[in-house]
Amino acid sequence: QVQLQESGPGLVKPSETLSLTCSVSGYSISSGHYWGWIRQTPAKGLEWIASIYYTGNTNYNPSLKSRVTMSVDTSKNQFSLKLTSVTAEDTAVYYCARERVLSYGYNFDSWGQGTLVTVSS
Amino acid sequence: SSELTQDPAVSVALGQTVRITCQGDSVRSFSPSWYQQKPGQAPVLVIYGENNRPSGIPDRFSGSRSGNTASLTITGAQAADEADYYCGSRDRSDNHRVFGGGTKVTVL
């Protein structure tokens, strides 16, 4: 059974870069599937940030694209998120998830537990 | 990009049936997925591909789609079904993903 675990700093200063890593166990990233980052705030609910295929092909949320970079490390079975120039509005619970991309629709079928990232000086 | 619209809240009597809707242009082209989220927990996929349930999801959860509206139905709601429910899909024209604003289901 696939398991995902987010890791990274829980506190980031304004204007700095938020960096998170998702470690995957029970499933090889190289076996396929897309892998995604989603964040959640009380005000905006669930917000998709980005998705990546194991080959490195990425899709980014247009509203965040200028600040987001997603990468994958198949040797470590991990994928990562970097979000630059953060503000208080980037304070959220960040989730990583496995994504199935099917002809009739997409879905995130396995999620990490989530990690709270607070942007504050 | 597309948006998905959900009613903010709905209530249902224990054992009765409740339907949650998700409206948006992308629903015409792609079957949304549905997620259940309880307080302090990560979302859990309950329906995908219009009416497919992942392993372990009770069969009282079902999905449907008509035109620009998708629905999640809970038949015989249980206290354990009290949660927030989100629909999710891909954008109709771009390869982007989008979530609805969520519906809070209260079981009375």
Distance CA(A89)–CA(A112), nearest Å, equals 22
pLDDT at A44: 85
Q: State the average pLDDT over residues A99-121.
A: 94
Q: Distance (Å) from the C-alpha of residue B108 to the closest C-alpha of chain A?
A: 24
| Mean pLDDT, chain A, whole residue set | 96
pLDDT tens-digit series, residues A4-40: 999 999 999 999 999 999 999 999 999 989 999 999 9
B60 vs A103: which has the higher pLDDT: B60
| Mean pLDDT, chain B, whole residue set | 94
Residue B1 above 80 pLDDT? no
Helix (H/G/I), strand (E/B), else coil: B39: coil
Longest dimension (CA), chain A: 45
Residue A98 contacts by C-beta under 8 Å, 6 or more apart in sequence? Answer: A2, A4, A24, A27, A33, A34, A35, A36, A108, A109, A110
Q: State the average pLDDT over residues A43-48.
A: 92
Give rounded-to-5 percent helix, strand, coil for chain A. 5, 60, 35
Residue A46 above 90 pLDDT? yes
* Test mutation, B26, B64, B96, chain A, max A CBs within 10 A: B96
CA atoms within 13 A on the CB side of B47: 25
Distance CA(A114)–CA(A102), nearest Å, equals 25
The amino acid at A108: F
Chain B residues close to A52, C-beta within 8 Å: none
Residue B71 above 90 pLDDT? yes
CA dihedral A43, A89, B23, A36 (to 10 degrees): -120
| pLDDT confidence tier of residue A43, bands split at 50, 70 and 90 | confident
Residue B89 above 70 pLDDT? yes
Q: State the average pLDDT over residues A46-58.
A: 94
* Test mutation, B95, B97, B99, B103, chain A, max A CBs within 10 A: B97
Closest chain B residue to A62 measured between Cα atoms? B96
| pLDDT confidence tier of residue B2, bands split at 50, 70 and 90 | low
Chain A residues close to B35, C-beta within 8 Å: 46, 108
Q: Which residues pair with A50 in a beta bridge?
A: A37, A60
